[in-house]
Amino acid sequence: MPDFIENAHLRQLALILVALAFISVLYALFLNPLFGLIMLVLVIIVLILAYRRLEQVNTDTNEYISNLSYRMKRGEEDAMLKMPIGILFYDDNAKIEWYNPRMKQYFERKDSLGHTLNEIDPDLSDAVANCRNQKKATEVVLHGKTYSLLVQKDIKALFMMDVSYYAAIQKHYEDSRIVLGQIFLDNYDEVTKVMNDKDLSNLNSFITNTLDDWARDFEMFIKRVDDDHFFILTYTGSLARLEKEKFKILDVIRERTSNRNSPLTLSVGIAYGGDDLAELARLSQNNLDLALGRGGDQAVVREISGQARFYGGKTNPMEKRTRVRARMISQALNELMAQADQVFVMGHAYPDMDSLGACLGLRRIAAMNNKSCWIVLDDTNLHSDVKRLIKELNQYPAIKGAIISPKDALEKAQKNSLLIMCDHSKPSISVAPELYQKLQNRVMVIDHHRRGEEFPDNPILVYIEPYASSTCELITEMFEYQAKDNNEPVNKIEATAMLTGIIIDTKSFSLRTGTRTFDAASYLRSVGADLGMARHFMKESVSSYMQRSHLVARTEFDDHGNAICCGEEGRLYDPVLAAQVADSLLGVSGVKASYVITQRKEELVGISARSNGDVNVQVIMEQMGGGGHLSNAATQIKNQTIAAIHDDLMEKIRVQN
């Protein structure tokens, strides 16, 4: 039987054609014998020609397939031997069984067969181990070159291709993207307003020359656009070098100007990662505002749609706010209250005395402006000092009646209502995040913490002063600028609550205390603040005292002045208690920074961090998702164990040191 007949499809086609031919011949013979005979001869001739043609097609097909198979096999062999791809096979013990000539060029040793990868090249062995479970090729750097490495563990083979040329092109592109930045001299006006023309000229020349030299070293373009404002244009390659040295220019300017008795600090905002220059300019301005909102003396770097990175901020910010700013904010607040149908004030979750005291102060300011004001408070999980204050408020029905739950506030809020966020600027930690969402276009922020990356999108007024001791201090200063003919002055309980907030946040006037702090405390005393009642609010319960002693006993100390305290797994601790323990540990000789890690509630662990000013705990807490001040910071972490968080904290402390 012919070879082509072995093909089932061809065989069926041939049988059908033969059957039709013979049916046609029989029909022709039936009609006319002569015509049928002629048809029979023609059919036989056609069948013979078709047979030969099919035989030829089959022969040509077999030759084509055979030739193609040979060429493919030859191509595979040439690819394995001549293509710029290194191929290596190894056995179960990672011993080299075979490699092609391209791979042979990679190895310095000529007798690599039979040896393990680790013996021949430990770096390659580590790269293979790391890429073993990768389904796609991975770029690795080996001996100064970049390779695309693919490991096929099922056949115990690896494929390597030198992509250094393409990696260099990619790196050149990454290093050549446009970066826009702005530099602001934080306290230029305060320093220069008392200078004569000669000293001012010398200072300006010094600043300009120093920044020009810095820009030249990093191949940047810098232009002074105002007395205290500079513009930066550079590339991402230079930015990487700046970040590697952690913006050392901040320390240089601060130290050298201090030596000249004219201490200046810089704030830097930098943006990169996009092709829209207008968007980069807007983002760089936002980053500069963020740096200034955090107290200045730092740089904020952010890629479009990326997370902000912070550098500097190692020193306590110098107090530079003025009473003029306090008066302007107070007047603006009065105007906002006049435009609102009602006012809502809320602090952060787990409120402390500073948060609640500031809310009481704002309620009084609203009353002075004849506006209804509601204090939003969640009465669950309150600390003992706040509970005592709430109990004392029972004697003041008007104030007690103004305190409502988040649910009630959500029902009362209207589109013309004003929401004031006290003692925090992160909506996620507000006592009523749903209320913020409802009034997010009618929000004012009053806070004394350094501004973080999370911030309300469209606040109508922002009053953030990291130089202040507490939010109560900021609110107290506003009372001076209220209408003098008002018949509702600050009462005893409000003044006492605010004074208690100041005392607690300053650790009895020992931390972050300026002249304005004492002025605020003096005013509160003059309007009836009771120190005896304040001490009563701050008293500690027996159970709290025992828990604090328990935590102190679990503290470990390292050789770098760090005290780390970890609570028990699964045991819940009050956040205020953790903060108190962190404060008390600073009183131990040799301790520069303290960290208290405790479980706050199910699947939520918090860290309270404190320092004596020599260590910037804010930077460490920000790396773990939190924030705060240089010497007072905290964070909360979900779905991690205390042990895992402890290890992560120790690693970040090690890097910081």
CATH number at residue 414: 3.90.1640.10
Helix axes 471-478, 353-368, angle to 10 degrees: 20
CA distance 398 to 267: 45
Is the model more confident about 7 or about 167? 167
User: Does 175 map to a domain?
Assistant: no
Are residues 120 and 204 part of one domain?
Answer: no
Of the candidates 347, 345, 386, 382, the residue with the CA atom closest to the CA atom of residue 365: 345
The number of helix segments (H) and strand segments (E) in the chain equals 25, 23
Is the model more confident about 434 or about 20? 434
Is 319 a residue whose pLDDT tops 80? no
Is the model more confident about 81 or about 269? 269
pLDDT of the residue at 81 = 61
CA distance 405 to 339: 24
pLDDT of the residue at 279 = 93
Are residues 515 and 600 part of one domain?
Answer: no
Is 32 a residue whose pLDDT tops 70? yes
The mean pLDDT of 415-439, rounded to a whole number, is 93
CATH number at residue 154: 3.30.450.20
pLDDT of the residue at 61 = 76
Is 517 a residue whose pLDDT tops 60? yes
Continuous segment of H or E residues that includes residue 555: strand 555-557
User: pLDDT for 67-89, tens place per residue?
Assistant: 777 677 766 666 666 677 888 88
User: pLDDT for 429-458, tens place per residue?
Assistant: 899 999 999 999 999 999 988 777 788 988
pLDDT of the residue at 82 = 63
Is the model more confident about 340 or about 315? 340
Of the listed ranges 72-86, 98-112, 244-258, 409-423, the one predicted with least confidence: 72-86
- Which of 290, 312, 334 is at the close of a domain? 312
- Which of 475, 504, 538 is at the close of a domain? 538
Are residues 329 and 299 part of one domain?
Answer: no
- Which of 515, 538, 561 is at the close of a domain? 538
Are residues 533 and 405 part of one domain?
Answer: yes
The mean pLDDT of 581-592, rounded to a whole number, is 90
Helices (H), 83-160: 101-106, 117-120, 122-131
CA distance 39 to 463: 108
Q: Which amino acid is at 363?
A: R
User: pLDDT for 320-365, tens place per residue?
Assistant: 556 777 888 888 899 899 999 999 999 998 888 999 999 999 999 9
pLDDT of the residue at 321 = 55
CA distance 368 to 330: 12
Is the model more confident about 383 or about 431? 431
Is the model more confident about 576 or about 568? 568
CA distance 185 to 286: 16
pLDDT of the residue at 434 = 94
pLDDT of the residue at 35 = 80
The pLDDT-based confidence of 599 (bands split at 50, 70, 90) is very high
Are residues 150 and 96 part of one domain?
Answer: yes
Are residues 547 and 531 part of one domain?
Answer: no
Is 238 a residue whose pLDDT tops 80? yes
Of the listed ranges 199-213, 448-462, 631-645, the one predicted with least confidence: 448-462
The mean pLDDT of 211-219, rounded to a whole number, is 94
The pLDDT-based confidence of 623 (bands split at 50, 70, 90) is confident
Continuous segment of H or E residues that includes residue 59: helix 33-82
Are residues 547 and 511 part of one domain?
Answer: no
The mean pLDDT of 200-222, rounded to a whole number, is 94
pLDDT of the residue at 9 = 65
User: Does 305 map to a domain?
Assistant: yes
Are residues 404 and 522 part of one domain?
Answer: yes
Are residues 387 and 495 part of one domain?
Answer: yes
Structural domain that includes position 42: 3-81
User: pLDDT for 470-486, tens place per residue?
Assistant: 999 999 999 888 876 65
SS3 category, 349: coil
The pLDDT-based confidence of 7 (bands split at 50, 70, 90) is low
CATH number at residue 570: 3.10.310.30
Are residues 437 and 329 part of one domain?
Answer: yes
- Residues 610 and 625: beta-carbon distance below 8 Å: no
Q: Which amino acid is at 559?
A: D
How many domains are contained in the chain?
Answer: 5
The pLDDT-based confidence of 261 (bands split at 50, 70, 90) is confident
Are residues 56 and 104 part of one domain?
Answer: no
CA distance 207 to 201: 10
pLDDT of the residue at 524 = 94
Alpha-carbon torsion angle 22, 23, 25, 28, nearest 10: 180
Count of residues making up the chain: 657
pLDDT of the residue at 110 = 64
pLDDT of the residue at 77 = 63
pLDDT of the residue at 314 = 63
Is 648 a residue whose pLDDT tops 70? yes
CA distance 426 to 433: 10
User: Does 275 map to a domain?
Assistant: yes
User: Does 188 map to a domain?
Assistant: no
Of the listed ranges 45-49, 384-388, 407-411, the one predicted with least confidence: 45-49
